[in-house]
Each structure stands twice: as C-alpha cells, then as structure tokens.
Structure 1
Amino acid sequence: MWILSGLCLISLVSAATVIELLGRIKLESDFDYVLVMKNRNFSLPEQIWNGSTLAKDIMERVHVPVLQLDEKVSYFLHNSLSRRLVSMVFLSSGNLEEHRGLLTALVLNLRHMTTSRVIFLIQSEASSEVAYKLFKDCWRKKLLNVMVLFKDYEVEERLYEPSLQAIAIFPDRLRDFHGYEMPVIIGGTSPRMIAYRNKKGQVVYEGTVGHFMMAFQQKYNVRFVQPLQGKNPLDFAPSMQTVAA
C-alpha cells in the first residue's frame, strides 16, 4: 500500500506556476532552501520558462537559496546543510531508465532526509503509468513525500465553488501508515515482554514492550510483522542479544 502523495496534474505554462507552488508549500511548512536537480545535458524549454533563470526567480520571489546539482554530483546534505528543504527534479521524459543516474544521485543527496518534500517535473503529457512507476521507485528508495507535475493535462470544464477547507499539499506521511505491514524483530524477556496464545490461538504480546507495540500500532495505523520469526513465536532472544545480532 502506497502512502505517497497522489498524482498531481498541473500545466507548466510558465515558471510562475512552480514559483507559486513553492510559495504555498512554504506557507504550509517553512523550508530553508531548494535543491534543483536535472541531467547535465537537459535544458529547460524556453517556451515554458519564458527565458527566465529558474534559480534567480526562486531566490527573488520565494526568498530562499537554491542549490543546483546534476546526476554526476552528490553530497551528504544532512551533515552540512539544513534538513528543511524542498527538492525539485526535472525529467525530460517519462522514461525513468533514462534518468536512473539522476534518481540515484537524488537519493544520495537526501540520505537521512527521505521524509523531505520532493517535486518531480516531467516534460511529457500526464500518464498514470509513469506516475505509478515513479512512485513505486520512490517507495523502494524510501522517499515518502513525493509530488509529480506533468507538462500538460486534459482541459475540463468545471464549476468551482468556494470552500474554506484547507488541504495540505504535503501532509505528514508518518502520522498514518494506512495499515502498512512494518517488518520488525521482537526481542525481550519477562516481565518487559510476555508472549502467549489467546483462546483463538493468536499470539498476544503483553508487558511493557507489548503494550507499547499495541499503542504504537493503534496510533499510527500500522501492523507489525516478523519476517524472520522462529518456529516458536513465543520464544525469542533477550533484547540485547537481538540488537547485537
């Protein structure tokens, strides 16, 4: 089950669209700088950006510094710069294999910051298939807050009505895991961890650790699973031995 941002279709008719989006994101949750990434041989189309310099526009209108990198360069940003950033990644097409190096460099730049916000701008028409593949790849790379903006979308006639409901562009993905099965390794000894089977034959964990596990699963809507569970689920190693292993 995916807990990434849903598909977002916005026509990139000018740089103002992205600048406005960054401004809204900044109001929602402030950030200290923008990371812009694109392949070294990819130039932004003049008809889309009106010949303007993207980094200059962001710095002047959003009032944050801009760091520009390509697929050949990666830094451990977590150790040298603020963790409060928004990443903008430009893809010249929906063929993800052509941009594998760029995606790899992005993940290296965002080590220990994979919950930070990432915006992909794809210079192709909207495609649910491309978005699904990109979201799936981001999930495998542990990028949790992802938005996709395509070059164009099908125009529809709609009657809009004013609404006072505020919808977050990047909601907190770690507050609700939507029933995700999270792999864990359980260890401990009595009385901190007490395991037994109930009348239905289900394994129940009690004790301090058991109650913490139950409270955590209920609060964050997640379910713990043990991929490396032994033959006897009631028998597990003490916590220190488990950590050492």
Structure 2
Amino acid sequence: MNFQYKQHFSHQHILNALKLDIGKKIYCNACENPITEPSFHGCYSCNYNLHDQCLNIPRSLQHTSHPAHPLTLLPKPTYSSKAFLCSACGTQGNAFSFSCAHCEFDLHIHCAKLPAKMLIDKHPHELNLLFVSPHKDQNFAFVCDECHGIASRDNWVYYCAHCDFGIHSNCATVNLTRKQAANSSQSGHEHLMDSVTRQVEDMRVFNEAQETLAAARLEAKINARGRKAILDMFDDSETRRDYYYY
C-alpha cells in the first residue's frame, strides 16, 4: 500500500511518510525498537514515529495463547502504573500492547507476532513455541539455554522436546530482531547504493548532454564562420574594381 500520510488512532496529528537519515537513531513509539528501515511514518512536531509495519497493525487479534477473548490493540497501557506486564515474556511494556480487559492479559506487539516455530543458530532442530514452561508440572525450574536465566512457569518458551533444549521467548525475540535488523541494514545499504548509482547515471547523462550541446555549438560556430568567409568573398568580388587600360 503506497501512501504519503496517514491519520493513526494512536496520535492526534497526521503522520507523514519520512526517509531515515543515515546515522540517525530513531525509535518506534509502538514497539520501542530502533527504526532501521529507509522509510517510516512520523509526526514532525511531536517526534512521534512508527515503523510502517507497526502503523498497519490490526486493531484486534484472536491469539491462540488466549482463545477465550479477542485482544484489543492499545496505544498505551490503561493501568494506573502506566505500564503492563507482558504475559509472554514477563517483562514490562510502556507502549503498544494487545490486551484483554476481562483477564488482564497483555502482550507486547512483537510477542504477539512470534512465529509458532523458530530455528536458531545454537540448535540444529526447530523449536516450538510453548505458552507455558515445559517443566511446569515438575519439581525443577526451566533454565534458558541462551541466557541461562530461570523462566517463569507461566511465560512462553521456544522448546525442542527431543533435546530438552529451550530458550525464553524474549531471548528468541532478540535473536529474531537481530536477524531482521541485519536484513534491514542490508536493505538500507542496497537502497543507498541504488541512490548513488542513480546519481552517477544522472551525472553521466547530464555530462553527455553538455558535451553534445558544446559540440553542437562549436559546429554551429564553425559553420557560421565558414558562411561568413564565403559571404566576405562574394562581398569583395562585388566591391573590387578591375581597371583595364587601352
């Protein structure tokens, strides 16, 4: 979808299509992650910015982790603390969330988008997303094989049952975000190189046009001088008098 500006329910002003300045660090007000893509939407006067993908998040979501009720997209927490505790990763959030008012069930928007399966560099098998600890009904805690921290029994993990290997969902999020940032950085570099290539091509075309124009002007001058020389010759023949003596 191509658009230059958009009115978003989370902000009182129009959000304009903007281009990211190389080297400038800007954060998304929806997911609180850096904006690394070459284009995004933002408000000039409020320093309010959104990834294009965050701009287009649906207003409600039916998530398999909470089948009882649909989740509503909120631009900011409605709790008195001005924060929410994510039911997926167990960490605090202060920006957008998918929330169930009936159950006080809240998800970061990036947690709500976590894939059902994930493959990471540290393990050869695909990991499945579990909405509770695989050791919930046992007498020992689940320890994350990425950060080695203990996971809450009610938080999500990515798990390989064959190897008893698992990681926190937020460790998986960091892994996924790192890959996306690398891909975006590569895309941004390619976008920059495309822009440079276009500028070089434009300069080449401009120079060729200038050279063609200069050659045409030189040819016109030469032709003009040639015509003037011929005219001068005719003028001299008409004005010169030959005298014959008898």
- Normalised by the size of structure 1, how large is the TM-score? 0.22
Calculate the TM-score normalised by the size of structure 2.
Answer: 0.22
Max Rg structure: 2
Higher relative contact order (CA 8 A, sep 6+): 1
